[in-house]
Structure 1
Amino acid sequence: MIAAGFRGGADSWYDPWFGTAVPRDLDGHGTHTTATAVGRGGVGVAPDAQWIGCADLARGVANPGYYLDCLQFMFAPFPHGGDAFHGNPNRGADVLTNSWGCSTLEGCRSDTLAAAAHALSIAGIYPVFAAGNTGPDCGSIVDPLANSPDVLTVGAVDRTGAVADFSSRGPVSGVAGKPDVVAPGVNVLSALPGNTYGTLSGTSMATPHVAGVVALMWSANPRLRGDIADTTTLLRTTAKSVRSATCAGPNSTGAGLVDAAAAVTAARIFPRM
């Protein structure tokens, strides 16, 4: 369900943990999220997109060094066994789906990865990040990079449009509008290792929906490719209003539920809106 979309070549997979040369998923989380974004067989938002990957969460937790390794690889991939300082930005990703956060337990401060997020945004690489699963407390979007102004932060809703209890909420000190948007994140059906399907819940599951929509938008209108600000504006202005929960208003829901059809339609006619 995701194998057919893998870009392939020597520079499409990086594993800083074990040095594997081809994609390997130890617990299913990466397969599930990747398939939601770009999978085939009825689960992917953008099934014709190609993907590359980096195993920054091989054990369920990581550290700032491995997170930075993977962000650098997505910016400028290098061949297996090659030198990271000689990566090729022309082979880098357009959109990043990131279902992780770097906690204090892993060695991150609130600003530890901020420079990396800013560099990706300047380069026109769209970073989409999970808000986290420490709701329903207000101010619970605390881990990098969900708390960064340079990324699109995604919360989770259920099938009725209600914000999931676990979905982290704003406000974020010094950063307006977090989360930016919400997407389906409760009992999401997607692929799992072994050519099977299963349901999982979390803002991890919501995030790849939005990354897939960005891929569709940039495919529909290549003039938007790399245009972070206008893409974000289109996503936010076409989002559907949803019921708020605790932390009233945008601190729970951002601009609302991402509407793929409306966002792609708006992208097609941009900049004539």
Structure 2
Amino acid sequence: MADLSVVQYILIALIFVWSGFVRSGLGFGGAVLSLPFLLLVLDEPLVFLPIIAVHLLIFSSLTVWMNNRKAAAPDHGPREGTVDWHYIGRLMAILIVPKMVGVIGLFTLPNQILSAIIFVIVALYSVSYIINRPFRSGSKAIDILFLMLGGYISGTSLIGAPLIIAVAAQHLPKEKLRDSLFVLWFILVLIKLGAFVWVGVDLQLVHHLWLLPAAAVGHVIGLYVHERMLRAETSLFFRVLGSVLLVVSSIGLVSSLI
């Protein structure tokens, strides 16, 4: 990113503020909601993916640690943790194989077909949340199929979150949804980051010095918004979730057809 203009640097910083905001506010979206905008500034995904991955590792672990420390404080009384470890274990049992397949590139579907399938499915889920009638597949087989597809996409590009969240949101209480997803993303992204290191991808460590504070600003704002959503009615939480998913799927579907 050495040859960029001042305007491009400013735009990248603002996009990383946005990335931090949606990540902490909703528990996902740091990559999928920021990468399309970043690529409009500089069309080189491998420049940004390592930065996004490191940011997720830092902020997800910090948030989960702080929230669980707060929950364990004596003045808060007996409270459960904010992470459903049992459900994460069940998810990882399904995700790990397709995740590794995606990481090492053993099986590749045409990008346009794969993207179109993903974003159509996500759009259907998102509309059901917006109208306050969350979709329930009623079938473990369908949920597993969506999770496997999400794991594969996560392995190839770090943007499999919408499919995974569409299933996880059905089974996790909203109080545990974000932090449980943070732990899941930490594990999945750590695998991907390890692959980057293995093949010698530049982790852009110098650019973390100015993009990490930008993401931190968005992260703090997102924490405040998330707390307000948790205190709001459940239907509002899912309408916001559905609206974000619809935006994601719309952008992705249009991009896949161009």
Normalised-by-shorter TM-score class: under 0.3
Q: TM-score, normalised by structure 1?
A: 0.25
Higher strand share: 1
Q: TM-score, normalised by structure 2?
A: 0.26
Higher helix share: 2
Using CA pairs below 8 Å that are at least 6 residues apart, which structure has the higher relative contact order? Answer: 2
